Amino acid sequence: MPPTGPRPLRADAQRNRDRLLDAAARAFSQAGGAEVTLDAIAKDAGVGIGTLYRHFPTREALVEATYRKELARLCDATSELLESLPPDEALRTWMDRFVDYMTTKRGMADALRAVIASGGNPFSESKARLTEAVTTLTRAGVDAGRVRPDVDAADLVASLGGVSLMAAEPTQREQAGRILDLLMDGLRYGARGTAAEPGT
Amino acid sequence: MPPTGPRPLRADAQRNRDRLLDAAARAFSQAGGAEVTLDAIAKDAGVGIGTLYRHFPTREALVEATYRKELARLCDATSELLESLPPDEALRTWMDRFVDYMTTKRGMADALRAVIASGGNPFSESKARLTEAVTTLTRAGVDAGRVRPDVDAADLVASLGGVSLMAAEPTQREQAGRILDLLMDGLRYGARGTAAEPGT
DNA sequence: CTTGTAAATGGAGGATCCTCCGCTTAAAGT
DNA sequence: ACTTTAAGCGGAGGATCCTCCATTTACAAG
């Protein structure tokens, strides 16, 4: 017997959930979308505020769900990057994209804070995907002798999260880039094929 | 004529400000101090909520002011560290202390977010001190050939802020340590006296 | 000491967050 | 079709945040 997975949502619940996500996507992608009130989103979706909170217990949860697809796309881009670039550059480029999502879609910052801070639970889905993507990239780098082998992918994801949080203001995008360079050099330090010079 | 500095506070205003800081220190240093309501602090200080908000426009501003002294102590510790340790280890140790403040005094996280995110204004005092401290440490490292010369101190402060934000949970203190190691190796990469092996 | 005035006060009130629970309804069983 | 029941709904209401401005007060000038 197939172990009863989490039983499917009731039809009306599913419908409301979808409406909420639609409304949220609409709201968050507008300018200043980070300030939209949850009441407004619920109203726009035509459901009660209680329903919103049941489906998404915190603002972060709603934002995370809204951006889950985009996060997935970002993760899926790894193989493509690895085909067209040397592994360390692929990793560096991927990091840049990661941060770019933050500065363009403002609501995304909340999403990632939620994803990365998820000590153990509800958002681990996206977190797992991100960690997996980073694992793929670093492993390729290690195999090519361009990245040190003793780096934990989860640590790196956390770092990216931290950098992104600081770079939330588009003003600080350049600073974020420099920090990523630094981090990248930390990743190169001690790789098999170590070069003594920093930078690309 | 001496350029009229920001005119001194009126006597009653100064008194209220001090009371508020006392009350805040009391509140924030208690367990779970991060959740204290501002109304409670105002009441404890015996002033109206409006007064609190005039002196400290945001929660972060109050927290920052509360911890300003401790932040200053941290900054002042640099010379002591430089006397007893090689510059790169001094820097690494200082970074650790920086993060430690976060995990012990929980309210401090808010403070630092405020300090570091201060694009340009009200908290630049503490930010400037932190940057100065890091400058001292890195410069010593550069002179000793143990830190690369092309690192901007402000970038490093921002990085520390990012790491600290992610390490807010004491659970993640070890992860924070590993990230600092990585960052530190990034700083060593390309220093005059480059060693090919990572770590200390 | 009196007066003028700008600084400072404080709390009522509007906005938002989030919880809680009595009512509604999908859908499984008969 | 009818009953049953638990999943789902919604929004009133309590808590907190922050603003605004009529009133009070420090203190400088006369």
The domain spanning residue B103 has which CATH number?
1.10.357.10
Can you give the pLDDT at residue B1? 46
State the nucleotide closest to B11 in CA–C1' terms: D26
Q: Could you tell me if residue B198 is inside a domain?
A: no
Q: Could you tell me if residue A194 is inside a domain?
A: no
* B128 Cβ contact list (under 8 Å, min separation 6): none
| A170 touches B: beta carbon within 8 Å | no
Residues A114 and A91 in one domain: yes
Can you give the pLDDT at residue B136? 98
The answer to whether the CB of A123 falls within 8 A of the CB of A62 is no
Q: Could you tell me if residue A179 is inside a domain?
A: yes
The answer to whether the CB of A141 falls within 8 A of the CB of A83 is no
Whether nucleic acid strand D comes within 7 Å of the CB of A48, the answer is: yes
Residues B116 and B130 in one domain: yes
Partner B, chain A 46-65, Cβ-Cβ below 8 Å: none
Residues A51 and A105 in one domain: no
Can you give the pLDDT at residue B195? 53
Mean pLDDT, residues B54-67 taken together: 90
Phi-psi category of residue A199: left, alpha or beta, with phi > 0 → left and psi -120 to 50 → alpha: left
Can you give the pLDDT at residue B196? 47
Whether nucleic acid strand D comes within 7 Å of the CB of A11, the answer is: no
Looking at per-residue confidence, does B124 or A93 come out higher?
Answer: A93
Specify the CATH number for the domain of residue B20.
Answer: 1.10.10.60
Residues A86 and A123 in one domain: yes
Can you give the pLDDT at residue A29? 83
Specify the CATH number for the domain of residue A39.
Answer: 1.10.10
Domain count, chain A: 2
Can you give the pLDDT at residue B138? 97
CA B33 to chain CA centroid, nearest Å: 18
Which tens digits make up the pLDDT trace of B131-162? 999 999 999 999 999 999 999 999 999 899 88
Tell me which residue in B171, B179, B197 faces A155 most closely, judged by beta carbons: B179
Can you give the pLDDT at residue A33? 73
Residues B66 and B52 in one domain: no
For residue A119, the distance in angstroms to the closest alpha carbon of chain B comes to 8
Whether nucleic acid strand D comes within 7 Å of the CB of B57, the answer is: yes
| B162 touches A: beta carbon within 8 Å | yes
Q: The tokens 């202390």 sit on which residue?
A: B97
Whether nucleic acid strand C comes within 7 Å of the CB of A11, the answer is: yes
| A186 touches B: beta carbon within 8 Å | yes
State which of B56, B73, B91 marks the end of a domain: B56
Q: Taking each helix axis as running N to C, give the angle between helix A173-188 and helix B153-166, from 0 to 180 degrees, rounded to the nearest 10.
A: 80
Residues A176 and A133 in one domain: yes
Range of the structural domain that residue B129 is part of: 59-188
Can you give the pLDDT at residue B26? 92
With CA atoms as reference, report the closest residue to A192 among B127, B31, B198, B72.
B198
How far apart CA A187 and CA B50 sit, in angstroms, is: 50
Which tens digits make up the pLDDT trace of B155-194? 999 899 888 877 767 778 899 999 999 999 999 988 876 5
Q: Could you tell me if residue A199 is inside a domain?
A: no
Between chain A and chain B, the number of residue pairs with CB atoms below 8 A apart is 108
CA/C1' separation B81–D20 (Å):
50
For residue A55, the distance in angstroms to the closest alpha carbon of chain B comes to 25
Q: Tell me which range, A175-179, B27-31, B34-38, is most confidently predicted by mean pLDDT.
A: A175-179
pLDDT tens for chain A, 200 residues long, are 455 556 789 999 999 999 999 999 999 888 777 789 999 999 999 999 999 999 999 888 898 899 888 889 999 999 999 999 999 999 999 999 999 887 777 677 776 666 665 554 444 678 889 999 999 999 999 999 999 999 999 999 989 988 887 776 777 889 999 999 999 999 998 887 655 455 55
Structure tokens, B137? 């440490």
Residues B31 and B65 in one domain: no
Residues B181 and B86 in one domain: yes
How far apart CA B141 and CA B96 sit, in angstroms, is: 17
Can you give the pLDDT at residue B122? 43
For residue B183, the distance in angstroms to the closest alpha carbon of chain A comes to 6
Q: Could you tell me if residue B17 is inside a domain?
A: yes
For residue A178, the distance in angstroms to the closest alpha carbon of chain B comes to 7
* B184 Cβ contact list (under 8 Å, min separation 6): A186, B88, B91, B92, B95
Q: Which of B182, B184, B187, B188 to mutate to test the interface with A (most CBs of A within 10 A)?
A: B182
Whether nucleic acid strand D comes within 7 Å of the CB of A13, the answer is: yes
Residue B114 — pLDDT band, cuts 50, 70, 90?
A: low
Can you give the pLDDT at residue B148? 95
Partner A, chain B 65-124, Cβ-Cβ below 8 Å: 116-117, 119
Residues B108 and B142 in one domain: yes
Q: Could you tell me if residue B115 is inside a domain?
A: yes
Cα distances (angstroms) measured from residue A139 to each of A80, A119, B191? 15, 24, 26
Question: What's the mean per-residue pLDDT of chain B?
Answer: 86
Residues A157 and A143 in one domain: yes
Tell me which residue in B163, B172, B189 faces A186 most closely, judged by beta carbons: B189
Residues B75 and B47 in one domain: no
Q: Could you tell me if residue B193 is inside a domain?
A: no
Q: Do A186 and B190 touch (CB under 8 A)?
A: no
Tell me which residue in A148, A152, A163 faces B178 most closely, judged by beta carbons: A152
Q: Do A151 and B182 touch (CB under 8 A)?
A: yes
CA/C1' separation B169–D14 (Å):
29
Residues A34 and A90 in one domain: no
With CA atoms as reference, report the closest residue to B149 among B102, B193, B182, B118.
B193
Phi-psi category of residue B169: left, alpha or beta, with phi > 0 → left and psi -120 to 50 → alpha: beta
Q: Could you tell me if residue B50 is inside a domain?
A: yes
